[in-house]
Amino acid sequence: MIDWMGSLQILAVPLLLTVSMLVLVFADLLLPAAAQPKGNQGPLSFRDLRKAQAEPVPGVQRADILGWIALVQLALCLAASFVAPQGVLPGGSYVHDAMAVLMERVLLVAGILAILGAFGHVRQSFARRQGEFYALLQCSLVGMTLLAGTRDLLLLVVAFELMGIPLYVLATFAKTDKNAAGDATPGRKSAEAGMKFYLVGALSSAITLYGVSLLYGLSGSTHIADLARIPSSPLLQVASALVVAGFGFKLGLAPFQFWIPDTYEGAPTPVVSFFSVAPKIAGLLALTQILLGGLLGHLQLWLPGLVGMSVVTMTAGNLLALPQLHLKRLLANSGVAQMGTMLIGVFAAATLGAKGHGLSALLFYFIAYLAANTGLFLVIETLAHDGSEPSERDLIASLSGLNRRSPGLALAALVCLLSLAGIPFAVGFWAKLYVFLAAWEAGYAWLVLVAVGVSVIGLFYYLRVARSMYLGEPRVTTPVRSPLTLSVAVTACALATAGLGLYPSVIVEATRTAAAAWLH
């Protein structure tokens, strides 16, 4: 007899997210369409629609209503993660343990920050499509929260696609650009960004799926834990290489990271603030589930390749970020480097298991990365909102003299930059320190030295941005205007980065418990 109520309670957060997504879609249908262009009652041609989407209709407050609904829903899901019981789903495909709970909360917070940051952008750029925007974001979150607790290859694959497909759509959401004259033109960059993102994503899914199908064939079961009983064979080597390569594409690990800067540059900034962090966290968790949960006995098959990938990723990310003048491209490459550093946590966990602190260091790194990276992308969004020159949009030059215009915003950006650079005592410092200590403990001393070495390269470009903010000449001296919600999100990120930097112990305990729960 299956305990249906118990199962539903265990799955509470993903289920609630699904329901809230549907509610949002229906609310979008039922709410009066205030954004209809006047004087055109007949069927609209595509050209009319495009014009209507491009022109913000005055007095449209509907965008905000749907945004607030989505925000309240995510807050409810966050609350639900505190009451949902821990347990195992019948059949064992999904386990709601301390790690799943912690990661659910981290991902939901990422979603909340993205929605807070998106309010103004949505109202300006796609007021008529806001319902879809928020619903797609929540749809992606359903997949991510499922990934946090999956123990089954089938659920993993489905959740992974559920996370990825809405993101392709979100990346192309800016269907129109504004040219210098303020007229709407088809969004060339957004289409290009979406196309690159999609092709890489679909290719990586196919490669991963092929690897997973081989794993299923070798073990005869889709349970990840059953992978441990596969005897070592060349086919297993091929399968694990395909899985790692597929995930490498998706997570942007070198040499598969070439698409990341283009996608980040072209996609709408609030979307980038979301998909530069949350899918990376969920994806790396899924890879950890397969490698540590299933293939730990065949360490020699995948560890050397992954170590090589990590070194190349850290080096390539930092070197490619050095010459960038475009802020989003710079952060994209810095994010690639951060992913390489996170991988070190996986090796440490793989080598020492429950004895070491690799996994807990990795979870800590996720939280630090979420706060600092989201904060910086939202600062870029704030400046774009201020109506910076289109020629200067998103460039480091647009930050020039920010300290004299808005000292608060400059300070928030500085805190996040220092955290990404790993300077004491921002939270990023502790994140790097914990990961390096765990790796040192596991016997990867040389890897730690390489990682510290390439982090020093990182200092150059992070501090170049900081120098522009504090020593550069501002083009205008008026304070930066930004929507209140965006300021709240930026402030929250900066406060979390600084606060957790001063008191890291607040989350260290939570990450240790979560890692211990998963490792047993």
Partner 1 sequence: MPTQAYLLLSAALFCLGIYGVLTRRNAIGVLVAIELMANAVNINLVAFSRVWGSLTGQAFTLFSLALTVSEVVVGLAIVILLYRAHQSVLTDSASEMKG
Rounded Cα gap, residues 41 and 25, in angstroms: 24
- Min dist CB 325 to partner 1, Å, is 9
Closest CA to 163 of 76, 50, 279: 279
Residues 58-97 that bind partner 1 (CB under 8 A): none
DSSP helix/strand/coil, 31? coil
Rounded Cα gap, residues 42 and 351, in angstroms: 67
If the CB atoms of residues 129 and 404 are measured against partner 1, the closer one turns out to be 129
| Residue 347, phi then psi, degrees to nearest 5 | -65, -45
- Min dist CB 446 to partner 1, Å, is 32
Q: Which of 222, 373, 400, 455 binds partner 1 (CB under 8 A)?
A: 222
User: Two tokens at 409?
Assistant: 């915003």
Q: Count CA atoms within 13 Å of residue 114 on its CB side.
A: 31
Q: Which of 121, 128, 175, 432 binds partner 1 (CB under 8 A)?
A: 175
Which amino acid appears at position 100 of this protein? A
| Helix or strand holding residue 518 (H, E) | helix 505-519
Size of the site for partner 1 (CB under 8 A): 44
- Candidate ranges 19-27, 37-45, 94-102, 181-189; the one touching partner 1 (CB under 8 A): 181-189
Residues 429-458 that bind partner 1 (CB under 8 A): none
Per DSSP bridges, beta strands 95-96 and 87-88 are: antiparallel
Rounded Cα gap, residues 462 and 331, in angstroms: 9
Q: Which of 48, 91, 179, 186 binds partner 1 (CB under 8 A)?
A: 186
Q: Residues 104, 145: contact at Cβ < 8 Å?
A: yes
- Min dist CB 264 to partner 1, Å, is 10
Residue with tokens 């491209």: 329
User: Two tokens at 131?
Assistant: 């319902």
Residues 148-167 that bind partner 1 (CB under 8 A): 154, 157-158, 161, 165
Residues 430, 358, 12, 173: what is their CA dihedral angle, to the nearest 10 degrees?
60
Rounded Cα gap, residues 102 and 303, in angstroms: 27
Q: Does 188 help bind partner 1 (rule: CB under 8 A)? A: yes
Q: Does 18 help bind partner 1 (rule: CB under 8 A)? A: no
Q: How far apart are the first and last CA of the chain?
A: 27
Q: Which of 67, 131, 187, 458 binds partner 1 (CB under 8 A)?
A: 187
Residues 267-326 that bind partner 1 (CB under 8 A): 323-324, 326
Q: Does 237 help bind partner 1 (rule: CB under 8 A)? A: no
Rounded Cα gap, residues 44 and 235, in angstroms: 56
If the CB atoms of residues 28 and 265 are measured against partner 1, the closer one turns out to be 265
| Residue 395, phi then psi, degrees to nearest 5 | -90, 160
If the CB atoms of residues 288 and 324 are measured against partner 1, the closer one turns out to be 324
- Min dist CB 175 to partner 1, Å, is 7
Q: Residues 382, 409: contact at Cβ < 8 Å?
A: yes
- Candidate ranges 16-24, 183-191, 357-365, 431-439; the one touching partner 1 (CB under 8 A): 183-191
- Min dist CB 517 to partner 1, Å, is 28
Q: For partner 1, what does the binding mask look like between residues 191 and 220, x meaning CB under 8 A?
A: xxxxxx-xx--xx-xxx-xx--xx-xx--x
Q: Does 189 help bind partner 1 (rule: CB under 8 A)? A: yes
Per DSSP (E only), the strands in 224-264 are none
- Min dist CB 192 to partner 1, Å, is 4
Q: Which of 149, 261, 294, 317 binds partner 1 (CB under 8 A)?
A: 261
- Torsion region of 420: left, alpha or beta (phi above 0 gives left; psi -120 to 50 gives alpha): alpha
If the CB atoms of residues 393 and 404 are measured against partner 1, the closer one turns out to be 393
If the CB atoms of residues 77 and 137 are measured against partner 1, the closer one turns out to be 137
Q: Does 240 help bind partner 1 (rule: CB under 8 A)? A: no
Binding-site ranges for partner 1 (CB under 8 A):
154, 157-158, 161, 165, 168-169, 172, 175, 186-196, 198-199, 202-203, 205-207, 209-210, 213-214, 216-217, 220-222, 261-262, 265-266, 323-324, 326, 329
